[in-house]
């Protein structure tokens, strides 16, 4: 099933199309950096949940206003963790569509419609992953502020 002979490769055999690593390597490296960033957001979100768990079990929280702040921060840290995981999933799916488009472009009988379809799916996945990444960042910051507000309220009361 050579691409040089003009044979039509189906989806099943598309992975057999040889690729030049340089055609997608910068994209993979950028993806790895974004994944490292979202992994750090996930780690911080889970650490924040751990801090809240410690505060609740150690009976340091006695005022209802502080409990409300901590409950809000639990929700926000959970949203942040979910956003980080959503970003990782969607951006990985986006790179899949990029590599598939590159492979389709290497075929002898180019199917421009399929290449454009893969390109639009890639862009859509990246745009959605970017929204999840922003959601994760904002939720993490707001969760940290909610914990800080809880400490301020506890100090005042």
Give residue-wise pLDDT tens across range 85-99. Answer: 999 999 999 998 888
Domain that holds residue 94: 22-156
Whether 131 maps to a domain, the answer reads: yes
Q: Does a structural domain hold residue 123? A: yes
pLDDT greater than 50 at residue 6:
no
SS3 content of the chain, % helix, strand, coil (to 5): 85, 0, 15
Domain count, the chain: 1
Q: pLDDT-based confidence at 112, cuts 50/70/90?
A: confident
With respect to residue 107, please indicate whether it lies within any of the assigned structural domains: yes
Task: With respect to residue 3, please indicate whether it lies within any of the assigned structural domains.
Answer: no
pLDDT at 86: 97
Instruction: For residues 32-56, give the mean pLDDT.
Output: 94
Does 78 have pLDDT greater than 90?
yes
**Predicted pLDDT of residue 2:** 44
Rounded to the nearest integer, the mean pLDDT of the chain is 87
**In whole angstroms, what separates CA 44 from the centre of its chain?**
15
3-state secondary structure 80-116: HHHHHHHHHHHHHHHHHHHHHHHHHHHCCCCCHHHHH
Is residue 136 included in any domain, yes or no?
A: yes
Residue 105 lies in a domain: yes
What is the per-residue pLDDT for 61?
77
């Amino acid at each position: 099933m050579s691409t040089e002979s003009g044979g039509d490769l189906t989806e099943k055999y598309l992975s057999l199309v040889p690729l030049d690593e340089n055609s997608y390597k910068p994209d993979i490296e950028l993806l790895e950096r974004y994944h490292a960033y979202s992994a750090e957001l996930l780690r911080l979100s889970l650490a924040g949940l751990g801090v809240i768990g410690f505060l609740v079990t150690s009976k340091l929280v006695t005022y209802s206003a502080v409990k409300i702040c901590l409950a809000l921060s639990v929700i926000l840290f959970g949203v942040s963790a979910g956003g980080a995981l959503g970003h990782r999933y969607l951006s990985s799916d986006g790179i899949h569509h990029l590599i598939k488009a590159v492979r389709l472009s290497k075929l002898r009988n180019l199917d421009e419609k399929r290449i454009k379809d893969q390109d639009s799916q890639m862009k859509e996945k990246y745009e959605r992953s970017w929204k999840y990444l922003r959601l994760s960042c904002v939720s993490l910051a707001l969760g940290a502020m909610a914990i800080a507000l809880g400490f301020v309220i506890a100090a005042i009361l």
